[in-house]
Amino acid sequence: MDIKIPDLGDFDNVEVIEILVKIGESIEENDNLISLETDKASIDVPATHAGIISSIHVSVGDKVSLGDLILSIKEVDNKSEKIKKTKNKSINKNMESATHTTDLLVLGAGPGGYTAAFRAADLGMKVTLVERWPVLGGVCLNVGCIPSKALLHAAKVIDDAAAMKDHGIKFTKPQIDPKALGAWKDSIIKKLTSGLEHLASQRKVNIVQGDGSFQSPNRIVLDNKDTIDFKQCILAVGSESASLPNLPIDERIMDSSMALELSSIPDSLLVVGGGIIGLEMACVYSALGTKVSIVELTETLMPGTDPDLVSPFYKIVKKRYENIYLKTKVTKIESLKAGIKVRFEREEGSTSEVFDRILIAIGRRSNAFDIGLKDAGIDLDAQGIVKVDKQMKTNKSHIFAIGDITGNPMLAHKATHQAKVAAEVAAGKKSAFDVRVIPSVAYTDPEIAWVGLTENEAKEFNIAYEKTKFPWSASGRSLTNSRDEGFTKLLFDKETGRVIGGGIVGSCAGDLISEIALAIEMGADAADIGMTIHPHPTLSETIAFAAEAQEGVLTDLYMPKK
Ligand SMILES: Cc1cc2nc3c(=O)[nH]c(=O)nc-3n(C[C@H](O)[C@H](O)[C@H](O)COP(=O)(O)OP(=O)(O)OC[C@H]3O[C@@H](n4cnc5c(N)ncnc54)[C@H](O)[C@@H]3O)c2cc1C
């Protein structure tokens, strides 16, 4: 069978810049075959059929157009061949090069690992990036940030459409095809992960697939077979979902990765754990029509977050979800034909309920336990957290650690910033992870975001602060969005007047919080923000209004300075 250049839109006569496959290789439908460079972007051309490549008809530098022959394949019907291929789907398992010595070995290709590898390569280092999964991107791209945000977008579209019924626009009940929705989500992941492969090949980063663990302070062994010697190493092995002991094996008991697969839409779902990941998935399934309940051990959802930030969200979901059990412990989970039976224990006594599915979202466990750190002489604590200094160095100065394995907050943007520092230090630069703040976001509805000092922390550590809060019920833009429950809060150092923290509840809070982060990093005070002209009508104005309230110059509300 022949595979030809498909319709690429307006492009004609475009240059082949990379051949991504070899003769004899078995490919699956949608695997990328070649990369083309247009004047606007580079495009990967995917396979239209699965099979084994028998001949390749283009070379790097050729100009191709619609219908030109790329390659020919022999179709295979052999299941085991397909599985073998799936295991090595995207990244090369290049064992000849795996036996060499590399300047820098990066273990794990999540946001921390691929960023470190790319930055180090840009600084001229010879880099080998080792990943056990057949794709780059780690948890964030494959089973974390990106798929969850795609599904949250779908949930928002459903909810926003339904909310318009009171404002003169009635939509009929949406028909949801979980398979098609899942395929759309997967196509976004594929676009991003194949983009990473392309970026890696442009930088000549050597990618090796394998499960790596230390054999000695300068050697990694892959899948207990081949070895790679390195001068320096950056550990970026990330984390995985924590589980409960003695769980029955039942596919109706999900972790976040299984929940994101969206195999079907259950009638009822219990989310065990009221943290950000569980609450985001609750938003998704609730919008898709599932009856959602949540159980949380502590007395509040999103434990640790300032109560005023959680309160508007809680008021909404309390009405929307079946039950929210706080201060409640799950003591038993049983697999029955009719569903998953869960026993709850709280002060008032114990009860049981049966759910179609349950999602265990009780936190993340570091993967650093599993990579033989003892053999490299690297210290890690009882939680599997690797201690690092400001240059991201472990107790062995040629080995760095970044991302989730360095502890909380376990966030992709922390991992990428640490990654750049580690790569720069490895390349001989005097960099340091010296940030004042790391923002946190729950992409729930409403979104909740905070950065810098929280009021919880201020009270715990006796830090003197002043606070202003601008309610979004007075924001023209929020009202035009048909929402009025949000607010923007700023915290100021009582002595210097500088912004030291902030929180936002409402649409796009996750995007808006960056302005407060920048204000803190720049040492801005209320006047710096208030005197910066913010466009009207926007949600970003609410940050300026909160700052003006602190200055006593706000006119959009009557909030005289005390
Ligand atoms: C459902 C969900 C939603 C999330 N949403 C957000 C969000 O919106 N924003 C945000 O900032 N964060 C979010 N996170 C957290 C974010 O995904 C992580 O903080 C981030 O991925 C950590 O990056 P990392 O590079 O440290 O590790 P990871 O992304 O975990 O990558 C580690 C990589 O190392 C590989 N690896 C592990 N062990 C080995 C080994 N021995 N040999 C070879 N390779 C190995 C793994 O296969 C993996 O690819 C979310 C997480 C989940 C689960």
Render pLDDT for 281-325 as a digit per residue (tens, 0 to 9). 999 999 999 999 999 999 999 999 999 999 999 999 999 999 999
Residue 271 class from Cβ within 10 Å (0-12 exposed, 13-18 middle, 19+ buried)? buried
Tell me the CA–centroid distance for residue 349 and ligand 1, in Å.
38
Atom of ligand 1 nearest to the CA of 281: 1
384: helix, coil or strand?
coil
- Indicate if the pLDDT at residue 84 is higher than 80: no
Segment 145-166 mean pLDDT: 97
Task: Note the CATH number of domain 87-240+363-434.
Answer: 3.50.50.60
Q: Identify residue 94 by its one-letter amino acid code.
A: N
- Given ligand 1 and candidates 91, 118, 139, which is best to mutate, with the most ligand atoms within 8 Å of its CB? 139
Segment 245-255 mean pLDDT: 94
Which residue's structure tokens are 């094996």? Answer: 249
Atom of ligand 1 nearest to the CA of 211: 42
Atom of ligand 1 nearest to the CA of 241: 53
Assess whether 536 carries a catalytic annotation. yes
- Indicate if the pLDDT at residue 118 is higher than 60: yes
10: helix, coil or strand?
coil
The CATH architecture of the domain made up of 440-551 is: 2-Layer Sandwich (3.30)
Tell me the CA–centroid distance for residue 78 and ligand 1, in Å.
33
Element (H, E) at 12: none
CB atoms within 10 A of CB 86: 13
Mean of per-residue pLDDT scores for the chain: 92
Q: How far apart are CA 323 and CA 295, in angstroms?
A: 8
Segment 374-396 mean pLDDT: 96
Which residue's structure tokens are 């030809």? Answer: 4
pLDDT band at 41 (very low <50, low <70, confident <90, very high): low
Domain chopping of the chain, boundaries: 2-81, 87-240+363-434, 253-362, 440-551
Sign of CA dihedral 141, 143, 432, 491: positive
Element (H, E) at 553: none
Q: List all residues 6 or more positions away from 146 whose beta carbon is below 8 Å from its beta carbon.
A: 137, 140, 188, 189, 192
Tell me the CA–centroid distance for residue 261 and ligand 1, in Å.
17
pLDDT band at 389 (very low <50, low <70, confident <90, very high): very high
Q: Identify residue 19 by its one-letter amino acid code.
A: I
How many residues are recorded in the chain? 562
Q: How far apart are CA 268 and CA 332, in angstroms?
A: 18
pLDDT band at 98 (very low <50, low <70, confident <90, very high): very low
Pocket of ligand 1 (CB under 6 A): 107-113, 130-133, 138-140, 144-145, 148, 211-213, 236-239, 256, 277, 367, 371, 403-404, 410-413, 415, 443
Q: How far apart are CA 335 and CA 166, in angstroms?
A: 42
Interhelix angle 276-287/145-163, nearest 10 degrees: 40
* pLDDT tens-digit readout, 394-446: 999 999 999 999 999 999 999 999 999 999 999 999 999 999 999 999 999 99
Closest Cα to atom 19, ligand 1: which residue?
Answer: 411
- Given ligand 1 and candidates 148, 197, 209, 237, which is best to mutate, with the most ligand atoms within 8 Å of its CB? 237
Q: Please tell me the predicted confidence (pLDDT) of residue 12.
A: 80
Least-confidence region, from 66-70, 343-347, 487-491: 66-70
DSSP-based helix, strand, coil % in the chain, nearest 5: 30, 30, 40
- Given ligand 1 and candidates 89, 145, 283, which is best to mutate, with the most ligand atoms within 8 Å of its CB? 145
Tell me, yes or no, if the two domains 87-240+363-434 and 440-551 fold the same way. Answer: no
Atom of ligand 1 nearest to the CA of 411: 19
DSSP state of 427: T
Q: List all residues 6 or more positions away from 174 whose beta carbon is below 8 Å from its beta carbon.
A: 158, 161
Closest Cα to atom 26, ligand 1: which residue?
Answer: 403
Domain 2-81 has CATH 3.30.70.260: no
The Cβ-side half-sphere exposure at 115, using a 13 Å CA radius, reads 22
Name the E strands within 210-348: 212-216, 219-222, 226-235, 239-241, 253-254, 268-272, 291-295, 323-325, 329-335, 340-346
Closest alpha carbon to 95 in 286, 226, 290, 232: 226
Segment 527-535 mean pLDDT: 98
Tell me the CA–centroid distance for residue 371 and ligand 1, in Å.
16
Sign of CA dihedral 369, 375, 380, 385: negative
Q: Please tell me the predicted confidence (pLDDT) of residue 59.
A: 86
- Indicate if the pLDDT at residue 520 is higher than 50: yes
Tell me the CA–centroid distance for residue 366 and ligand 1, in Å.
10
Least-confidence region, from 25-34, 71-80, 267-276, 370-379: 71-80
CB 211 within 8 A of CB 223: yes
pLDDT band at 50 (very low <50, low <70, confident <90, very high): confident
Domain 253-362 has CATH 3.50.50.60: yes
Closest Cα to atom 12, ligand 1: which residue?
Answer: 411
Q: Please tell me the predicted confidence (pLDDT) of residue 40.
A: 64
- Indicate if the pLDDT at residue 81 is higher than 50: no
Show the DSSP H helices in 262-365 as ranges: 276-287, 307-320
Q: How far apart are CA 420 and CA 427, in angstroms?
A: 10
Question: What pairs with residue 63 in β-bridges?
Answer: 15
pLDDT band at 6 (very low <50, low <70, confident <90, very high): confident
Q: Please tell me the predicted confidence (pLDDT) of residue 79.
A: 36
CB 198 within 8 A of CB 18: yes
Catalytic residue, candidates 57, 153, 534, 536:
536
CB 248 within 8 A of CB 120: no
Q: How far apart are CA 50 and CA 67, in angstroms?
A: 19
The Cβ-side half-sphere exposure at 108, using a 13 Å CA radius, reads 30
Atom of ligand 1 nearest to the CA of 412: 11
Q: List all residues 6 or more positions away from 462 whose beta carbon is below 8 Å from its beta carbon.
A: none
Segment 454-466 mean pLDDT: 97
pLDDT band at 76 (very low <50, low <70, confident <90, very high): low
User: What global pTM score does this model have?
Assistant: 0.85
